[in-house]
Amino acid sequence: MNSRSTAESETLYCVYVAIRQKRSTVAQLVQILSEANAMEYSILVAAIASDPAPLQFLAPYSGCAMGEYLRDNGMHALIIYDDLSKQAVAYRQMSLLLCRL
């Protein structure tokens, strides 16, 4: 028998991955989620524009791992990547730097 309550297993958790977004944009999102009382079932992974390229590259993988953890433990998860194309920019930056070494 699953020890989790029915309400917890039916809750939809949201994993929001912000890649290369401005710090003010991420802060605004946190404020909106807090005002809507949504932070208790939300996970925010933020690699802001000023973070190093490796952190920006790894952010989507971190968000995916969190979603997989929720799934593996019988919960439901929605993962939102904003903006996944910016991960490609971070990957390109890393590749160019590694080729120059």
**How many domains does the structure of the chain reveal?**
1
Looking at residue 71, which CATH number applies to its domain? 3.40.50.300
Instruction: For 2-46, write each residue's pLDDT tens digit.
Output: 555 666 668 999 999 999 999 999 999 999 999 999 999 999 999
74: containing domain: 6-100
Rounded distance, CA 98 to CA 101, Å?
Answer: 5
Q: Which amino acid is at 36?
A: A
> Measured between alpha carbons, how far is residue 18 from residues 4, 21, 57, 65, 85 in Å?
30, 6, 11, 15, 11
- Predicted TM-score of the model (pTM): 0.84
Rg of the chain over all Cα atoms, to the nearest angstrom: 16
Cis peptide before 83 (omega within 30 of 0): yes
Q: Does a structural domain hold residue 39?
A: yes
